[in-house]
Structures are given as structure tokens and as C-alpha cells.
């Protein structure tokens, strides 16, 4: 299965919060998109890995992605080293995405910035011929995505690119709410966390409105890139 866009995230729900509208927008254009979660989010105060797995698959069905896979790296303790890079490289070579969406380059949660660099480095290394990996015993061919964009998460980062997600806002919210163990749920008896208050979801909407305002639409999602963003046709920027 070859993908157009692969969204990679440190934790289940990172994608939904930060770039699910972008995935929905491109799926509506016939692009094939997928999600790769690096960890199960097992250090989260609320919920359990098994429950979050069910929630992640429910969210994936709402987003209509071609696949969602979890590498089950150690939440909080994965590293940007050869062992972890090879795990990511195998998936990049298997699904051959043209574009990869990755965690914010720096953020409140230390996993996010570390994942951003792990993903970025793995995308580059996946294109090197002399790094050998196999999939089900078959030698994989090198593959380097054409672009890596980093979505913006909790902390404010000035975007270099904003995607209009206005038509897909309600579906984005539905995908976030699929994670009932993590976000505001008046029925739960679990401890309150930074992200479980109703104000946090209000912040998510305010951030989307702020991003949208930058480009003259109602809702947007912002991205940065570690390399220059170029086009061959100025009308692709309209």
C-alpha cells in the first residue's frame, strides 16, 4: 500500500488534535492517508493502553484513513537512536509516503520534540541505499518522502504553512472526542488532567480559529518545515 500522506505521532490523539483536519481535507481529494503512532500513550494519567487502542481505531474509522499502526515504543523513554530510527525507516519504506506529517519541533511534552527529530532523521535515512531493512524477509528499497511538515501542538509556533480545514471541522472534533478516556467527559471518575477540562477543547478551537484567521478562513491547521517550502505554480498557494 502506497500512501500520499503519512501522519506520525508520539501518542495516540496527537494526530487528531493537530492535523486530522488536514488528513480529512486531502482524503476528500482522493489522496490516500495513514497514521503511525509511535507509543501507546501508556504513561497517560487516564485510560489504559487497551482502551486507547480501541479509541485510536475508532478515531481512524471516523477519519477514513487507509491504515493506522502503533509501533509500541516506550512512552516517555523512546530515543532518537539507531534502533528506533530503523523501526520508523521500515514503515516509511513500506508505505512510501510522498509527505510525512510529524510532531511539533518543540512543545510542552518532551516526547513531541524528540519524536519530531526521530521522524525527521528517519525520513532522511530511509532514502540511503546502504541502510538495509527487510519487510517479511524481503529487502526494502530506499524511499525518502518529498517533504516533512511539523504540525503545531500545545505551544505557539509561528506557522510557515496553514491548511484550510473549515469544511472538516466537525469531523475533526468527532475524531478528538473518540478518545473519551483523555478529554472532557463528565461521566468519568478518573483524575482531572491538563487536557481533560472543557477549557482545553475550547483552546483547540481557538487555536484553529487563530490559524484560520491568518489565511482568511474560519478554521486552519498550521505547520512548520525544517527546509524551504517551494512550488512550481503560484496558483497552488491560493
Return the closest-CA partner of residue 156 out of 228, 83, 193, 105: 105
CA angle centred on 63, ends 71 and 196, rounded to 5°: 75
Give the model's confidence band at 1: pLDDT under 50 very low, under 70 low, under 90 confident, else very high. confident
pTM score, whole prediction: 0.97
Instruction: Dihedral sign for Cα 180, 184, 185, 188, please.
Output: positive
Mean pLDDT for the chain?
97
Q: Within 10 Å of residue 103's Cβ, how many Cβ atoms? A: 31
pLDDT of residue 15: 98
Query: How many secondary structure helices (H) and strands (E) does the chain include?
Result: 7, 9
What backbone phi and psi angles, to 5 degrees, belong to 179? -90, 70
Contact 165, 25 (CB under 8 A): yes
Domains by residue range for the chain, with CATH: 5-229 (3.40.50.10320)
E strand intervals along the chain = 5-9, 33-39, 67-73, 99-102, 134-135, 138-139, 147-151, 161-164, 220-224
Question: What pLDDT digit, counting tens, does each position of 146-199 carry?
Answer: 999 999 999 999 999 999 999 999 999 999 999 999 999 998 889 999 999 999
Contact 133, 93 (CB under 8 A): yes
Give the model's confidence band at 130: pLDDT under 50 very low, under 70 low, under 90 confident, else very high. very high
* Cell matching residue 180: 473519551
Contact 66, 78 (CB under 8 A): no
pLDDT of residue 237: 83
What backbone phi and psi angles, to 5 degrees, belong to 39? -125, 170
**Cα separation, 149 vs 227, whole angstroms:** 9
531493512: which residue's cell?
133
Question: What pLDDT digit, counting tens, does each position of 108-121 carry?
Answer: 999 999 999 999 99
Whether the per-residue pLDDT at 2 is higher than 90: the answer is yes
pLDDT of residue 163: 98
DSSP letters, 34-52, are EEEEEE--TT-SSS-HHHH
Q: Is 169 strand, coil or helix?
A: helix
Amino acid at each position: 500500500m502506497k500512501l500520499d500522506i503519512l501522519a506520525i505521532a508520539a501518542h495516540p490523539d496527537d494526530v487528531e488534535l493537530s492535523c486530522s483536519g488536514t488528513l480529512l481535507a486531502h482524503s476528500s481529494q482522493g489522496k490516500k492517508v495513514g497514521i503511525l503512532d509511535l507509543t501507546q500513550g501508556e504513561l497517560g494519567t487516564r485510560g489504559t493502553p487497551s482502551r486507547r487502542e480501541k479509541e485510536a481505531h475508532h478515531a481512524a474509522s471516523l477519519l477514513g484513513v487507509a491504515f493506522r499502526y502503533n509501533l509500541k515504543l516506550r512512552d516517555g523513554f523512546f530515543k532518537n537512536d539507531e534502533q528506533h530510527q530503523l523501526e520508523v525507516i521500515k514503515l516509511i519504506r513500506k508505505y512510501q509516503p510522498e509527505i510525512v506529517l510529524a510532531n511539533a519541533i518543540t512543545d510542552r511534552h518532551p516526547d513531541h520534540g524528540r519524536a519530531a527529530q526521530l521522524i525527521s532523521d528517519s525520513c532522511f535515512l530511509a532514502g540511503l541505499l546502504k541502510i538495509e531493512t527487510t519487510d517479511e524477509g524481503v529487502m526494502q528499497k530506499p524511499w525518502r518522502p518529498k517533504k516533512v511538515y511539523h504540525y503545531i501542538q500545545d505551544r505557539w509556533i509561528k506557522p510557515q504553512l496553514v491548511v484550510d480545514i473549515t469544511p472538516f471541522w466537525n469531523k475533526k472534533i468527532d475524531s478528538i472526542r473518540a478518545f473519551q478516556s483523555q478529554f472532557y467527559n463528565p461521566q468519568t471518575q478518573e483524575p482531572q488532567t491538563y487536557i481533560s477540562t472543557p477549557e482545553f477543547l475550547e483552546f483547540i478551537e481557538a487555536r484553529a480559529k487563530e490559524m484560520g484567521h491568518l489565511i482568511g478562513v474560519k478554521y486552519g491547521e498550521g505547520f512548520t518545515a525544517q527546509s524551504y517550502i517551494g512550488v512550481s505554480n503560484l496558483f497552488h498557494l491560493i
